[in-house]
Amino acid sequence: MTFCLRVSLILLVVGLASAQLSTTFYSSSCPKVFTIIKSVVDSAVSKEARMGASLLHLHFHDCFVNGCDGSVLLDGSTGEKFTGPKANSLRGFEVIDTIKSQVECLCPGVVSCADILTVAAKDSVVALGGPRWSVPLGRRDSTTANQTAVSSNIPPPNSSLSTLITAFSNKGFTAKEMVALLGSHTIGQSRCKVFRSRIYNETNINAQFATSVKSKCPSTDGDGDDNLSPLDVTSPTLFDNAYFKNLQSQKGLLHSDQELFNGGSTDGQVNAYSTNSASFFRDFANAMVKMGNLSPLTGANGQIRTNCRKAN
């Protein structure tokens, strides 16, 4: 505690006049923030590779609901984490809590939860072998969540291709950028409850793959609902382009995954990324920067939450 209190007053200067995100936003006010975030993320991912995907998922969920404002981290009965198609699937909150505690100790009242989540998502991708990119910073935190906006903004796992294209288009993304972002499913896992219908009822699925997944996911609702299967059966803990190769072989775990390669307008992009991982990495990184720019609170808007789970 003594260490935490021994902080120069200059660290309290946040730069409220700025309304633009900048990669150098914390260069003077909290230059060690990146080291802290990377250290905690690397430790969490080394203990459980799935956590990398979970932190990336959190960032996606945050940005698609009212912009990248840290609202997904808020607790309470009206919290975004408790509703919509991804209800009870969001995780990684404790990792963000750990980062926030360490950052607050060093730079109290300076670094937003929204920025921490954005950097943690990038560091998670890097920790699992994915691309690096510079993260523009300067977001501030919302004081409320918007539970009602979750279902209308987060496309469910049974989405058709047209539904996916519309959902991403509503956020300013092209179909190509959408395919790149959904390539994040090259890491992570999903619950049996989410993909049961696909493996038992759909025909555009590799038979051997379906049989293998059925061994972990009984056909009866309520039986094994929380059993997990990797979204990328080939290299589930490595951020690579195997996800697209799996789609070509009809090994998409989610209905929405396979929709990207099912005789529709995005088949060509899947083919392109399946043979060119460098192109996928580049487009994914650019799309992540674009996603991080979705309606952030800046300047005098919002606040810097001391506890990411509740407003000050």
Cβ atoms of 26 and 99 within 8 Å: the answer is no
Question: 24: burial class by Cβ within 10 Å (0-12, 13-18, 19+)?
Answer: exposed
Query: Helices (DSSP H) in the chain: which residue ranges?
Result: 2-5, 33-47, 50-64, 93-106, 113-127, 150-153, 161-169, 175-182, 192-201, 207-214, 242-248, 255-258, 267-275, 277-292
For the chain, state the CA radius of gyration: 20
Q: Per-residue b/e over 85-117, b at no fewer than 16 CB within 10 Å? A: ebeebbbbbebbbbbbebbbebbbbbbbbbbbb
Known active-site residue 61: yes
Distance of alpha carbon 82 from the chain centroid? 16
CA angle 143, 178, 209 (to 5 degrees): 110
Give Cβ neighbours of residue 36 (< 8 Å, ≥ 6 apart). Answer: 99, 102, 103, 106
On whether the CB atoms of residues 308 and 97 are closer than 8 A, the answer is yes
**Which structure tokens are listed for 174?**
């092209």
CA distance 260 to 297: 32
Pick the closest to residue 103 from 309, 304, 298 (CA basis): 304
Tokens standing for residue 99: 């980062």
| Annotated catalytic residue within 57, 61, 185, 255 | 61
C-alpha–C-alpha distance, residues 65 and 60, integer Å: 9
Q: Residue 205 forms beta bridges with which residues?
A: none
Active site residues: 61
